[in-house]
Chain A
Amino acid sequence: MEDINDVHNLDMAGNSKQYIVVCLGAEQYGIDIKYVDNIVRNQRITRVPKAQHYFKGVINLRGEIIPVMSLRLKFGLAPDEFTNATRIIIIKLETQSAIGIIVDEVKEVVTLAGNSIDKATTSDPSDPLVQYLSGVGKHNDGLISLLNISAVIMGREGKDVV
């Protein structure tokens, strides 16, 4: 995770923002680094009965109990397969308590300038994924779907609103 350490040396000026790039299957997603509190390896997850289907349960992070959500299940993808690369990203929104999201892999940290970010494509508004995206970033010929992390966590569909 050397990449993350480098982050602090990068230029924070201008419109550019830093994103942690994670993988779900073949697709790359970016998470605004200012919301990321911590990245931990896969841990023993305790199931919570009757929770929303995309909550895998809770983990113990240094004495704190943190709920963990599967990004795959939230996005309607195939269930997670836990491997050595699987990570739980601990997200902390300003006033909320921490929450973990499970991703297949954490790749790198990138800095995206404002002009290299496009609005999320609205060609298919019925795609449930669109509401979770804040834009699409271009980086090294690849595309990164930038997550609107508060929408992911709070859920926009009526029944998911906590």
Chain B
Amino acid sequence: MDVSQYLEIFIDETKEHLQTLSDQLMILEQEPENMDTINEIFRAAHSLKGMAGTMGYKRMQRLTHDMENVFQEIRSGNMTVKPELVDVLFRGLDALEGYLANILESADEGTEDNEEIINTLNGIADAATGKVKEEPKKPAEEAPKQSGGAKYSNIHLSEYDINTFEKAKEQNENIFGVTVYLQETCILKVARAFLVFKALEELGEVIKSVPDIQDIEDEKFDLDFSLVYFTKEDMEKVKAAIENVSEVREVVIGPFNFEDTSEQKEEAKPESVKESEPKNDTKPAPVKKPAAAQAAAKPAAAKPAAAKKQSKPAVGRTVRVDIEKLDVLMNLVSELIIAKNGLVSINSTDDTKSDAAFNEQIEYLESVTTNLHESVMKVRMVPIESVVSRFPRMIRDLSKKLGKKMELHMTGEETELDRTVIDEIGDPLQHLLRNSADHGLESNDERIALGKEEVGNIYLDAYQDGNNVNIEVRDDGAGINIEKVKNKAIEKGTLTAEQAEHMTDKEIIDLLFRPSFSTAEKITDVSGRGVGLDVVKTKIEGLGGNIECKTALGEGSSFIIRLPLTLAIIQALMVELGPEKYAIPLGSIETIEDVLVSDIKSVQTKEVINLRGTVIPLIRLDQILDIEAGSGDTDILTVVIVKKGDKLAGLVVDNLIGQQEIVIKSIGSYINCSKMIGGATILGDGEIALILEVNALV
């Protein structure tokens, strides 16, 4: 069977299941008794096994099969979860990720059998359950507390189903109607239903269910569901199989009489298993079904479904879209915005044309394009969860490797960022977390000696702040020893002792972001190779963001990453410099000030201004951008105050044009353009304006 077309789906779903496994294993390690977790893991392993089998990945199937087995034993209470087991399971998870990586690359799972993991798994399972295995299963508890009735008799059948039924009858299969009631305390109803279906499918065939399987999977049902079932087994056996599933309150089963249901008669009375004998009426049913009866039956079946829908919010409907298609869409929206800007500029330059109706339409167009842009942007937004969800596992491993007890606390996983940013942000965050775990946190003994709680804490917080998203990686460890950094810098020749004297703590910390600067005294497997924060910084700045570090000796340090919400379209302030036009992203602008030339002071040959008590360096844009001097000297300068982190600077411009929505375009790689230019944009009249990269200027 050619399954290549399903490969993408397989990969996506496998990723999801692996993530579930990882998350749940983490929980399991903390709460070995948690039945929900165990069930969740069982389910994920089971789905993985099924999917891998379908795709023909035998090795992957085998490994998941054995993991599933182990959980089967745990579920049935034959063994308990021990730390060794969790370790092996984690290794199994890594092995599965290995398979997935191979599949991603070559559509083949590779040849690693992971024999050792499988053997260890089976060893643990056998050791724990060897004796217990032979014990007879507890007889299923009978005596239903309250009969909920055999709702299955309401199941409506189509003509096609009835035909199937007749065939089954001819083959002497039993047809049962089954209604399963779950316990009210049941949390994972879907999982229970799934297990019921699985148990039934081992013995026979489920023909129809109410609500249908899709709805059951989406948890669109209350506490019961009904189904029609073919089997060669007898009723007791089927009932026992279902009751074996935990949290099933009651099973009502009886022979299913399709003639009755098609006419919606009350004859198919609720039959509790004990008293009801299969009515062995094997005579083939006549296919007669008045259309009217069918129509009447429909509402009856639909009603409970509708009622159920109200009780449970419908699960969001989604569709997977190739990111390239979104990029195309985004580009088109950008073009539209450029065209709209064109109209606006024609309108504002040519007074004769500007009548009210035209203006109105332009305003309408403007609001439409803005909404369209926002919608497209939202489509591209992905919760940061998809990146950070792997970190708890990483910290767990680091904790074992480094022999330090530590805990990761995450908040704001639901914060959304542009897909392109999400793809790139993983590595820098991982790096910062490793840093915190390795260098930031002290060893447990040191912590106790310092009077801190033994377990180190690492925090990962994400939150939106205006047009930015901030991600903060924080630890309550030792903090950065500024003296140590200073000495290291002098030792390395980065600074002279004299320079170091005059530097502020903040400037010293910034040294950490320089290439090849690591203060870790020994190089460990985890970090300290000297390629580090500078790479993080480059990456973040490449995404249009910035990073800042705050630290307090003995209390911990925190790295704050600021990222723009969107990359492609931004609000910008257009300014004139001589004959040229430039765009300054609005996100980085603090204020705009008029400054008297006489107020400019000089500090260490640099021009600064004193703005309401803050000393701000001035940047003469015309000089650094080699622009021919503007219109002579004036007494008053227009200064745009920009910020990078908490650093401010004043950009001197000739003229302000106004605020505009601009589409960022790349200049391409041919021009060795300086870092000060972050890209270009096309203005309404077709002219190009370059975008100033404030991060590089300040």
Contact = CB atoms under 8 A, between A and B. Distances in A.
Contacts of A47: 580
A52 B688 contact: no
A158 interface: no
A51 interface: yes
A99 B670 CA distance: 8
Nearest to B666: A65
Interface in A124-162: 153, 162
Contact of A63 (B338, B676, B689): B338
Given A49-B626, A51-B671, A51-B672, A63 B666 contact: no
Interface stretch (A32-40, A54-62, A105-113): A54-62
A67 B667 contact: yes
A44 B687 contact: yes
A48 interface: yes
Interface string B599-627: 00000000000000000000000001111
A153 B671 CA distance: 10
A162 B669 contact: yes
Contacts, number: 75
Given A44-B687, A48-B690, A63 B335 contact: yes
A46 B679 CA distance: 12
Interface in B639-688: 665-674, 676-677, 680, 682, 686-688
B21 to A, nearest CB: 40
A46 B676 contact: no
A97 B688 CA distance: 18
A66 interface: yes
Interface in B56-111: none
Contacts of B680: 46, 58, 65
A8 interface: no
A55 B687 contact: no
Nearest to A155: B670
Contact of A67 (B580, B627, B670, B687): B670
A52 B673 CA distance: 8
Given A60-B687, A65-B680, A48 B338 contact: no
B671 A48 contact: yes
B668 A48 contact: no
B696 to A, nearest CB: 11
Contacts of A103: none
A65 B688 contact: yes
Contact of A97 (B335, B625, B669, B676): B669
A50 B682 contact: no
Given A63-B338, A65-B682, A46 B668 contact: no
A162 B666 contact: no
Contact of A65 (B625, B627, B668, B669): B668
Contacts of B625: 49-50
A69 interface: yes
Contacts of B670: 55, 67, 69, 96-97, 99, 153, 162
A46 B627 CA distance: 12
Interface string A49-93: 111100100111001111101000000000000000000000000
Contact of B626 (A50, A58, A60, A64): A50
Nearest to B663: A63
Contact of A58 (B335, B338, B672, B688): B688
Contacts of B676: 49-50
B688 A55 contact: no
Nearest to A59: B688
Given A49-B677, A63-B335, A97 B668 contact: yes
B624 to A, nearest CB: 8
Nearest to A160: B672
B688 A67 contact: no
B661 to A, nearest CB: 15
A162 B667 CA distance: 13
A12 to B, nearest CB: 30
A65 B665 CA distance: 7
Contacts of A59: 688
Contacts of B668: 65-67, 97, 99
A55 B626 contact: no
Contact of B674 (A44, A50, A63, A65): A50
Given A46-B690, A58-B688, A60-B682, A52 B580 contact: no
Contacts of A65: 665-668, 680, 682, 688
A110 to B, nearest CB: 28
Nearest to B674: A50
B452 to A, nearest CB: 50
A113 B667 CA distance: 38
Most interface-central of A59, A97, A153 (chain B CB within 10 A): A97
B677 to A, nearest CB: 6
A149 to B, nearest CB: 13
Contact of B671 (A55, A60, A64, A96): A55
A42 B78 CA distance: 82
Given A49-B674, A65-B680, A60 B686 contact: yes
B674 A46 contact: no
Contacts of B687: 44, 46, 60
27 contacts: A44-B687, A46-B687, A46-B689, A48-B673, A48-B677, A49-B625, A49-B626, A49-B673, A50-B625, A50-B673, A51-B671, A58-B688, A59-B688, A60-B682, A60-B687, A63-B335, A63-B338, A63-B682, A64-B665, A65-B666, A65-B682, A65-B688, A96-B670, A97-B668, A99-B668, A153-B670, A162-B669
Interface of B: 335, 338, 580, 624-627, 665-674, 676-677, 680, 682, 686-690
Given A46-B688, A49-B627, A65-B665, 13 more contacts: A44-B688, A46-B580, A49-B626, A49-B673, A50-B673, A50-B676, A51-B671, A51-B674, A58-B671, A58-B688, A65-B682, A67-B670, A97-B669
> What are the nearest 9 A-B pairs in CB distance?
A50-B674, A46-B688, A49-B625, A51-B671, A65-B665, A67-B671, A67-B670, A65-B680, A97-B668
